[in-house]
Structure 1
Amino acid sequence: MTPHTVEKTPVTLLGLGAMGSALARTWLAAGHPLTVWNRTPARAGALADEGARTADSPAAAVAAGTLVVVCLLDDASVGEVLADADLSGKDVVNLTTSTPDQARDRATWASERGARYLDGGIMAIPPMIGVPETGGYVLYSGPRDLFDHYRDTLAVPTGATYAGEDPGFAALQDVALLSAMYGMFAGTTHAFALIRREDLDPAAFAGLLTGWLTAMAPAAHGIAAELTADEAPEEDVSSLAMQVAGTPTFLDTARQQGVSAELLAPYFELMRRGLTERNEAKNPKGLVDLLLR
């Protein structure tokens, strides 16, 4: 090793599904020594051909280094896989999708076994890993100093964003962001269903749709401003009343096009409640608060 060579942090990776394999290949390509384990050995063998060291058991993989990254099916799998591993002095980064409470419990579980813990929420799909221009990233929560220590290594596969000291914050924001995504997918699905039987080019319509959604996305900043304002926002009664008054047009159009309104109806009902229920603010903040019941 020359005086100017920077030694790369060794990584242990447990779990080689589509996401785990993508993560593994980016660390290998960046020159990080990598030890891998997978319940199905064939996947580990494929990475061995690319330079990874394979371990016969999770315990052996954990013993190979300090930084242990976990990317498994669910939280129960994490407990099962690490049950016999000695975690004393290890730094566990859990990228397994979980709930906020599961993440907090897993942080306590790791601490009781002598490990430091970061929880992660992956805001990317496997093809986005190792491709910075796609905009993918991982949210990390837990001790700030632990995140800072491994920031460069964690940022090799995709962007690394710190989400807070509370170990549940990465999982919470992961689910919140994905929930918004599914809401967008629901609206997109309904929109394409409306035009499905007409002589309209779906590709041309997609251009209109993406442009419109992009133009509407900044409305999130307005809701955030209302939620953080020192004073309660003024009631935007006319705007919400106008929108509620317009909902029959959407429902009638769906019926005329032979499209189920099941994806729109719940939000329309929430809007109606926000307008009619006593003592509710008639604005986006009021709709958010209605959901807290």
Structure 2
Amino acid sequence: MTDTPSRPSLTLLGTGDMGTALGRAWLAAGHPVTVWNRTPARTAALAAAGATVADSAAEAVAANRLVVACLLDDASLGDTLDGVGLTGRDLVNMTTGTPAEGRDRAAWAEARGARFLDAGIMAVPPMIGVPESGAYVFYSGSRALFDEHRQTLAVAAATTYVGEDPGFAALHDVALLSAMYGMFGGVLHAFSLIRGEDIAPRDFADMLVPWLGAMAGLAHRTADQLQSGDHAKDVVSNLAMQAAGGDTLLRTAREQGTSPELLAPYLHLLERRVAAGHGHEDLSGVVELLDAGDRGGHRS
């Protein structure tokens, strides 16, 4: 008979919906977990699953070297760890924030003697701890911390390390979410167009989903154009043609009683780019209109 190897222990700060999902995954995999939450009652589910509940954030942090935070926002993280000793701790911040907050929090943690890793969770709670769900987490910051704890972190979701810059996890997270919400905006506009007609939304969705999947692949061409700096490379449907078609989209919206507010700003950008003499280019040139100029020294 052989002894089952013990799993590394960790501390979890924050037991909301996502924190609880993370805690359940680690506990189910055999990791001893110490938890803390500002509202103690919200630790009950994890306590019932075998977690140790700490009376304070300081006590929770003192219990383990690996400390994972999944709180409301960056300010909550600062408040929770204010005055808490972090020397020798490995702090993994799964709290949603901005790239600048990730960079500032890394410097803050390192000044207090901790290694720091920021994270961006690409999942909703039911996907956590379910390998086939497709859930994954972006990580950036200390490579040594990531390498040491990668197996433990991977219990909750697949891991994707995106660089030493602590702001990159949040940047990747927000960039993907921004693309998602832009797509959702188009989806809602499309469903509004067919409302009131003899078209079943479910039947329309059966056509919409594969169409969007086919079009999403064009992001590779956009990436190639941006990386080369040549917005006219491999153009299939130029900007002038696409901008001209925008009038049909807007007239159809008016006819169908659909507000153009989700679509009109995008079409306006196409028109501006064409008016500036770039009608021969592809859509990638519109990125130039979105660049506010000041990237704070972090433009890659």
TM-score interval, smaller chain: over 0.9
Q: Does 1:74 align with 2:73?
A: yes
After TM superposition, give the deviation of residue 72 of structure 1 in Å.
0.4
Whether the 8 Å contact between 2:20 and 2:45 is mirrored in structure 1 is no
Q: 1:145 to 1:253 in 2, by over 3 A?
A: same
Distance 2:38 2:231 in 1: 54
Whether the 8 Å contact between 1:11 and 1:35 is mirrored in structure 2 is yes
After TM superposition, give the deviation of residue 3 of structure 1 in Å.
5.0
Give the number of aligned pairs: 291
The match for 2:261 is 262
Distance 1:278 1:242 in 2: 13
Whether the 8 Å contact between 1:8 and 1:31 is mirrored in structure 2 is yes
Which runs of 5 or more residues in structure 2 are unaligned?
293-300
Match of 1:232 among 230, 233, 242: 230
Partner SS state of residue 234, structure 1: coil
The match for 2:200 is 201
The match for 2:87 is 88
Give the TM-score of the pair, scaled to structure 1: 0.95
- State the one-letter code of the partner of 2:230: A
Q: 1:237 to 1:222 in 2, by over 3 A?
A: closer
Whether the 8 Å contact between 1:137 and 1:159 is mirrored in structure 2 is yes
After TM superposition, give the deviation of residue 40 of structure 1 in Å.
1.1
- State the one-letter code of the partner of 2:67: V
The match for 2:118 is 119
Distance 2:108 2:184 in 1: 36
After TM superposition, give the deviation of residue 248 of structure 1 in Å.
1.1
Distance 1:43 1:280 in 2: 56
Distance 1:124 1:71 in 2: 13
Spell out the pairing of 1:153-232 with structure 2 (5 A cutoff). Answer: 153-229=152-228, 232=230
Whether the 8 Å contact between 1:93 and 1:117 is mirrored in structure 2 is yes
Q: 1:126 to 1:4 in 2, by over 3 A?
A: same
- State the one-letter code of the partner of 2:24: R
1:27-76 deviation digits (Å, cap 9, x = unpaired):
00000000000111111122111100000110000000000000000000
- State the one-letter code of the partner of 1:69: V
Which runs of 5 or more residues in structure 1 are unaligned?
none
Whether the 8 Å contact between 1:237 and 1:282 is mirrored in structure 2 is no
Q: Which runs of 4+ in 1 moved over 3 A?
A: 235-238, 278-281
- State the one-letter code of the partner of 2:70: C
- State the one-letter code of the partner of 2:270: M
- State the one-letter code of the partner of 2:205: A
Q: Does 1:109 align with 2:108?
A: yes
RMSD between aligned alpha carbons?
1.6
Distance 2:231 2:241 in 1: 18
Give the TM-score of the pair, scaled to structure 2: 0.93
Distance 1:251 1:279 in 2: 22
After TM superposition, give the deviation of residue 274 of structure 1 in Å.
1.3
Whether the 8 Å contact between 2:14 and 2:70 is mirrored in structure 1 is yes
- State the one-letter code of the partner of 2:137: V
- State the one-letter code of the partner of 2:23: A
Spell out the pairing of 1:269-288 with structure 2 (5 A cutoff). Answer: 269-278=268-277, 282-288=281-287
Spell out the pairing of 1:135-146 with structure 2 (5 A cutoff). Answer: 135-146=134-145
Distance 1:279 1:243 in 2: 12
